[in-house]
Amino acid sequence: MVSNTLLNSNPFIPKSAISRSVCICFYLLFRSLQIARSCTFPSSRAVLRCGLHTHIEVHSDIPVGAGLGSSAAFSVAAATTFLILSGCLSMESDFTPDRQQCDLIQSLAHEAEAIIHGKPSGLDTAVSVHGGGIYFKRHASTPVLHRIHIPSEDWNILIVNSNVGRSTGEVVEAVADRRRRQTTAVDDLLQKIGDLSRKAFDVLNGNEVCLAKLTPLIRKNQQLLVNLDVSCLAVDEIISELCRFGLTAKLTGAGRGGCVIAVALNSCEYEQALQLMRNKSLWAKVVHGFAMGVHVLSTSPRLSTK
């Protein structure tokens, strides 16, 4: 197992995003070959063991280091690709991995995330693998994940990139350091954030999703994140601007930069806010809130993993 400490301290391991991605790919390559030796659902075609040449291209429009889980999406796509090439997954036709296969992909992708971030929660990889919405809760040493099923056409989210870069690992370590110094205060904030998350889960799991019930929870969550000192001036200004257009917003990801997500009760408010953000030269996009998870498109002779 390659550790984050090793990647950060070893002078022979490159620090650029692209170079580190290549390192992750090599790690996933060797791990997938290890897994293939004991795989319980092997494919009849193992490209990597046949001496065939393989060309891999990565295309993504997800901003990097912005709290949108770009590293998890990359890790999941790369893990799926190498599991296919090693013969653990089929590449004969288009398919969505079953539960057992998804668990394998998620486990391997989580290893890659651990190299990148140190101690990832596992939420980003779970969402990338399974799609939809997921309620995440730490329970002892094993995280608990609950699926949230909402039709994507009924749920839009505006994403705005603050253009303030930050490292997830550094933000997480800063919060951990503050917790060591102010344990009671930080634990109280985290408890309140957890309570809000449970309330939001109940709203989203109701018979009818009511944004009017969800928006005050989003506002309270953002204030708690401010109190936790994981927001920043640029994020706060974007949230204030979006509020003027009737949207409710909060930071996403680790914080201290990255992206803001916002929801509106009226669909026309999205377009107005979208134009405002773009006029400020900020990357902004309206997306479906609950998209599909990992899916393999096999088009001979090319293979596409989403």
Give catalytic residue positions: 124
Identity of residue 302: R
CA–CA dist 179, 188 (Å, integer): 10
Residues 6+ apart with CB under 8 A from 242: 158, 160, 248, 249, 260, 262, 273
Alpha-carbon distance values, 240 to 39, 125, 236, 277 (Å) = 52, 31, 6, 12
CA–CA dist 261, 263 (Å, integer): 7
| Best CA proximity match to 39, nearest among 109, 101, 93 | 101
């944004």: which residue's tokens?
211
């056409």: which residue's tokens?
153
Contact 286, 157 (CB under 8 A): yes
CA–CA dist 179, 136 (Å, integer): 21
127's tokens: 């969402």
Contact 232, 282 (CB under 8 A): no
